[in-house]
C-alpha cells in the first residue's frame, strides 16, 4: 500500500520543525533521510509513528488518514510501523527473549499481555528472529549486558515481531562502531529486500545513505531540499542539505561521514568507497 505525506507540518512555538513536507513513498522502498542536526528528521519520523502529532497536513496510508487515528486503530498503526531508535529502547533488566516478545504485545489481548503469557508459537517466532540476526545465543541474557550493536539487533528482532508493514529507524547506527553499524544496516537492508518491508531511516552520515538507500531525502530547516537517487546527490545538493543551519554554521565533516575525510566539496559527490572498514574481527 502506498504511503503519502501531504503538507505535513509540526511547529513547536514559533519554531517550525517540519515544514509542509509532501512525499510519496511506494511500498517496499528503502529511504534514507539525511540532514544536519535540527533539520526535522526525528520529528518527521515521530509524526509518522504518531509519537508526535502534526500541527497540520496529513499522513495517508492507502485510504487511511493516519493523523486522525485514535484508540485501537492508532495502536494497530503503531504496530504496523515499527520504530527503531538510536538508543535501542530495550528494557535492560529483562532478558533478550522477553524484550523481543514485547514486540508482540500489540497483537494480543490486554489480559494475556498483563499476565505476560506468550504462546509457544510466539516464543519460536522470537527465537527465529534472534537467529536471523545472529544473536540467538544471547536469548537468556539481560538485554542491558549486551554490546550496543547486539542491543540494536535485539531491537530489530523486536520490530520484526510486530510483523510491521514499515520500519522507521531514527539514526539506528549513530551510537555504534563501524562493524556493528554495518551489521545493523545489513539487517535493515535484508528486511527491506527479503521481506519487502518499506524502510525509512534517518541517517547522520551521507556515505551510509548512499550505500544502502535507493532514495535519499535531504532535509534542511524542516523542508525537503533534495529527493532523489544517490547518484543524483551532487555536491551542490549536498551543499544545500548541509550547507547552512539556523545559525549559519558551515559544513562539519562529522555530520556527513564517519569514515571519509571531507575536504573539497567535490569529494562529497563522489561515491563512497569503503563505508565500513572493520578494524576488529566479528565478535560472536
SS3 assignment, position 101: helix
Q: Tell me, by CB under 6 A, how many residues bind ligand ADP.
A: 11
DSSP string, 108-153: S-HHHHHHT---HHHHHHHHHHHHHTT-GGGTTSBGGGS-HHHHHH
Q: Which of 281, 84, 108, 276 is nearest to 199 (CA)?
A: 84
Q: Which is nearer to ligand ADP, 207 or 245 (CB)?
A: 245
The verdict on 42 binding ligand ADP (CB under 6 A) reads yes
The verdict on 238 binding ligand ADP (CB under 6 A) reads no
Which residue is associated with the grid cell 526525528?
42
Shortest approach of ligand ADP to residue 224 CB, angstroms? 12
| Cβ-based neighbours of 111, under 8 Å, separated by 6 or more | none
Interacting span for Mg ion (CB under 5 A) from 20-28, 36-44, 88-96, 143-151: 36-44
Whether residue 173 contacts residue 181, with contact meaning beta carbons closer than 8 Å, is answered with yes
Whether residue 188 contacts residue 199, with contact meaning beta carbons closer than 8 Å, is answered with yes
Find the binder of ligand ADP among 22, 26, 37, 64 (CB under 6 A). Answer: 37
Q: Which is nearer to Mg ion, 34 or 102 (CB)?
A: 34
Q: Which is nearer to ligand ADP, 28 or 38 (CB)?
A: 38
Find the binder of Mg ion among 34, 36, 42, 50 (CB under 5 A). Answer: 42
Question: Footprint of Mg ion on this chain (CB under 5 A)?
Answer: 41-42
Residues that bind ligand ADP (CB under 6 A): 12, 15, 17, 35, 37-43
Amino acid at each position: 500500500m502506498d504511503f503519502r505525506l501531504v503538507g505535513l507540518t509540526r511547529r513547536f512555538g514559533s519554531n517550525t520543525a517540519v515544514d509542509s513536507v509532501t512525499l510519496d513513498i511506494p511500498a517496499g522502498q528503502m529511504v534514507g533521510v539525511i540532514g544536519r542536526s535540527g533539520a526535522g528528521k526525528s520529528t518527521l519520523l515521530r509524526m509518522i509513528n504518531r509519537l508526535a502529532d502534526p500541527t497540520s497536513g496529513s499522513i495517508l496510508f492507502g485510504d487511511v488518514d493516519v493523523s486522525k487515528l485514535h484508540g485501537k486503530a492508532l495502536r494497530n498503526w503503531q504496530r504496523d510501523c515499527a520504530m527503531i531508535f538510536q538508543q535501542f529502547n530495550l528494557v535492560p533488566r529483562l532478558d533478550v527473549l522477553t524484550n523481543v516478545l514485547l514486540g508482540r504485545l500489540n497483537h494480543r489481548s490486554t489480559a494475556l499481555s498483563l499476565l505476560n503469557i506468550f504462546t509457544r508459537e510466539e516464543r519460536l517466532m522470537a527465537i527465529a528472529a534472534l537467529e536471523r540476526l545472529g544473536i540467538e545465543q544471547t536469548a537468556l541474557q539481560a538485554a542491558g549486558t549486551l554490546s550496543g550493536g547486539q542491543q540494536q539487533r535485539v531491537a530489530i528482532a523486536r520490530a520484526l515481531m510486530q510483523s510491521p508493514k514499515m520500519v522507521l529507524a531514527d539514526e539506528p547506527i549513530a551510537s555504534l562502531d563501524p562493524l556493528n553499524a554495518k551489521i545493523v544496516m545489513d539487517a535493515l537492508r535484508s528486511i527491506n529486500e527479503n521481506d519487502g518491508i518499506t524502510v525509512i531511516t534517518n541517517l547522520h552520515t551521507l556515505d551510509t545513505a548512499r550505500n544502502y538507500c535507493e532514495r535519499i531525502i535531504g532535509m534542511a530547516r524542516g523542508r525537503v531540499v533534495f529527493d532523489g537517487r544517490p547518484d543524483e546527490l551532487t555536491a551542490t545538493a549536498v551543499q544545500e542539505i548541509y550547507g547552512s543551519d539556523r545559525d549559519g554554521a558551515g559544513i562539519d565533516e562529522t555530520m556527513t561521514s564517519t569514515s571519509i575525510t571531507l575536504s573539497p566539496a567535490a569529494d562529497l559527490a563522489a561515491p563512497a568507497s569503503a563505508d565500513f572498514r572493520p578494524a576488529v574481527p566479528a565478535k560472536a
